[in-house]
Amino acid sequence: MNFPEWMQHIQQRTERALEHCLPSKDLAPQRLHDAMRYSVLEGGKRVRPLLCHASGAVFGANAEALDTVGCAVELIHAYSLTHDDMPAMDNDVLRRGKPTCHIEFDEATALLVGDALQTLAFRLLASPLPDISETQQLTMVQLLADAAGSRGMAGGQAIDLASVGKRLTVAELEFMHLHKTGALIRAAVLLGAMCSKADATALDALGRYANRIGLLFQVIDDILDIEADTATLGKTAGKDVDNNKPTFCTLLGVAGAKTLASELRQGALSTLAELEKSGGECTRLRELTDFIVDRRH
């Protein structure tokens, strides 16, 4: 399978797994379940499940376990987007080319959708997983919770809110994004690897890879926010600059942001080279790194 085929294959099986784990629209409360499915299905590049599968493949994880773990991370991501789009936070009306959840349904429903998606993520990660010990699974639940909580993603959002209109240093901006988007991307990479025989040294290297990839993802997002248009992005272009939010482009200029992206990409790839020396199979992770850099939305 070449990379585009692999990516489509993982995206399709992730979609099926998400479809399967989300409650049916026919179950009460139907409107809530309808809105949960609306917020998760048929949208998104599924970058986190892709990272999960690519990272799991380094030391040969069970693909079904990776589906479940990838879904758990994606549900946390989807919950955070749903809450982030609400008027109290970013107040955005467009996401993945569709009206955001609180526009399509209502604010109270969007609030409950995010809440219930987070719960479902932990429900899923605590469900029986093939080839994984219960001890390991509890560690994985802890890891996802640490990545999502007040010292991870939710904390990053709080720092983001507090930084609107402020002039941050590049170090402060990196700190914010290492939490806001980086923590969950790191969790996707590590949880994928934890489904395999990756040892502590490998997990350490993958953690360093993930930190770079997480920042890289954000730097590219900031560049796209300026260079792409709303139709291509599927979300409102230029909104970070309009909202007076500090971005890598406002701090470094677009050219500087591109230099940083190139450095992060090199750093990520050299970490993968380390892993390959100890017998890891990093083809998919390397291709995915390039995909993150070269994407148009």
Residues lying near a copy of itself in the complex (CB under 8 A) are found at 23, 27-29, 31-33, 36, 79-80, 83, 86, 88-89, 106-112, 114-116, 118-120, 122-123, 126-127, 133-135, 137-138, 141-142, 145-146, 148-151, 154-155, 157-159, 161-162
CB of 296 to a copy of itself, least distance (A): 31
What six digits make up the tokens of 192? 């994928």
Chain CA centroid to CA 205, Å: 19
Cβ 9 vs Cβ 1: under 8 Å: yes
Comparison of 157 and 181: residue with beta carbon closer to a copy of itself: 157
- The alpha-helical segments, DSSP class H, found in 126-196 are 134-148, 153-163, 170-177, 183-194
Compute φ and ψ for 280, nearest 5 degrees.
-75, 150
Main-chain dihedrals φ then ψ at residue 4, nearest 5 degrees: -60, -35
**Shortest separation between residue 108's beta carbon and a copy of itself, angstroms:** 5
- Evaluate whether 95 touches 83 at the Cβ level (below 8 Å): no
Residue 158: CB minimum distance to a copy of itself, A: 4
Query: How large is the greatest C-alpha to C-alpha distance in the chain, in angstroms?
Result: 53
- β-strand partners of 95: 98
CB of 293 to a copy of itself, least distance (A): 30
Q: Which is nearer to a copy of itself, 158 or 254 (CB)?
A: 158
Q: Round to whole Å and give the CA distance between 232 and 224.
A: 10
Shortest Cβ distance from residue 276 to a copy of itself (Å)? 33
Residue 28 or 255 having the CB closest to a copy of itself = 28
* Residue 94 burial class via C-beta count within 10 angstroms: exposed 0-12, middle 13-18, buried 19 and up: middle
Nearer to a copy of itself, 64 or 227 (CB): 64
CA dihedral 184, 189, 191, 192 (to 10 degrees): 140
- Return the ∠ at Cα 49 (arms to 207 and 135), rounded to 5°: 60
Nearest residue (CB) to a copy of itself, 127 versus 230: 127
The least CB distance from residue 292 to a copy of itself, in Å, is 26
CA nearest to 47, candidates 200, 195, 216, 264: 216
Cβ-based nearer residue to a copy of itself, 52 or 187: 187
Distance in Å, CB of 110 to a copy of itself, minimum? 8
Would you call 190 exposed, middle or buried from its count of C-beta atoms within 10 A (0-12, 13-18, 19+)? buried
